[in-house]
Amino acid sequence: MILVTGGAGYIGSHCALRLMESGEDVMVFDSMELGTRHALDVLAREFPDRFKGFVQGDLKDRGSIASVFRGRDIEAVVHFAAYSQVAESMRDPRRYYENNVGGTMNLLGAMADAGVGMIVFSSTAATYGEPEYTPIDEVHPQHPINPYGATKLMAERMMSDYGRYGIRSARLRYFNVAGADPEGRLGECHDPETHLIPNVLKTAGTGREFSMFGTDYDTRDGTCVRDYIDVNDLAEAHLLALRYLREGGASDCFNLGTNGGSTVREVFGVCQKVVGEPIPVRECPRREGDPAVLVADNRKAKSVLGWSPRSTLEDSVSRAWAWERSRR
């Protein structure tokens, strides 16, 4: 059985669904601080035999996560549970260190005690900080510029060091995750929502203006370039990373992105096309700490894991729009 921490959240629920689709048994551990009951209901409804249940617990509570491993046949962990808002991490770093570092430490300790030897981890492009070159490959220096990125880098380092206890890890560095389940069962539910695509789509049809930050960067149209990776492609990468570890693969890190990028204006244009009507926009000054270009070199994930992202940006936006409409 695979233990999915944070499986009631956005990416974790899509991955849990994909794991079960491929024949895996899954159990979810989530505090429900940011997760949804809806996601758990979908997992239980779609795969009643493979969904082995949900444990409500907090990784910050060592006893709570340790007890999950007792008496259960857990082969590997896919670890999503964390806080992930950059701005919040700048305002309240302690919250991030306690959860993302402390929580991961408790999880790895419980795994070591229980003899569970494989973990697939949600890391992030934020561990690289300001790019020194682009596309960013995995050997690019890691100098995070905010506490969120720093906590994820510490978790990565801890994971490598816990190799000493027989734990092998695939540390997956996501770029900008987007989209929703193609069948409309799951989607993104963050509050507050800080991601571009759901924010543009939430504005559509409301008469409100969308605030576009930073239009004077040295890019092809003045707005920031980001690498949008579809959540379904991301889920596939987790499955492949798990297989890689199962087949004896050594601990390693992999970028998950498309090797290409879209500007904020281009994303906005795709959103308008998908929605089918103009969305009012207001151009605003740059936000602090936004690098001009963040694009992944994804060749390592392709060659080592055999992964290949398939969805286009329009696919991701169309599915996110279907999800957004279903919730109005």
Shortest reach from residue 196's CB to ligand NAD, in Å: 10
Nearer to ligand NAD, 72 or 222 (CB): 72
Nearer to ligand NAD, 34 or 170 (CB): 34
Nearer to ligand NAD, 186 or 270 (CB): 186
Three-class secondary structure assignment of the chain: CEEEECCCCHHHHHHHHHHHHCCCCEEEEECCCCCCHHHHHHHHHHCCCCEEEEEECCCCCHHHHHHHHCCCCCCEEEECCCCCCHHHHHHCHHHHHHHHHHHHHHHHHHHHHHCCCEEEEEEEHHHCECCCCCCECCCCCCECCCHHHHHHHHHHHHHHHHHHHCCEEEEEEECEEECCCCCCCCCCCCCCCCCHHHHHHHHCCCCCCEEEECCCCCCCCCCCEECEEEHHHHHHHHHHHHHHHHCCCCCEEEEECCCCCEEHHHHHHHHHHHHCCCCCEEEECCCCCCCCEECECCHHHHHHHCCCCCCCHHHHHHHHHHHHHHCC
Residue tagged 């027989």 (tokens): 166
Shortest reach from residue 195's CB to ligand NAD, in Å: 6
Shortest reach from residue 10's CB to ligand NAD, in Å: 3
**Rounded to 5 degrees, what are φ and ψ at 172?**
-100, 120
Whether 217 sits among the annotated catalytic residues: the reply is no
Nearer to ligand NAD, 93 or 205 (CB): 93
Rounded Cα distance between 181 and 183, Å, is: 5
Nearer to ligand NAD, 31 or 203 (CB): 31
Shortest reach from residue 307's CB to ligand NAD, in Å: 16
Shortest reach from residue 207's CB to ligand NAD, in Å: 28
Nearer to ligand NAD, 32 or 281 (CB): 32
Give me the catalytic one of 96, 128, 148, 217.
148
Query: Which residue has its beta carbon closest to ligand NAD?
Result: 9
Q: Which residues bind ligand NAD (CB under 6 A)?
A: 5-6, 8-12, 30-35, 58-60, 80-82, 84, 99, 103, 122, 124, 174, 176-177, 190
Active site residues: 148
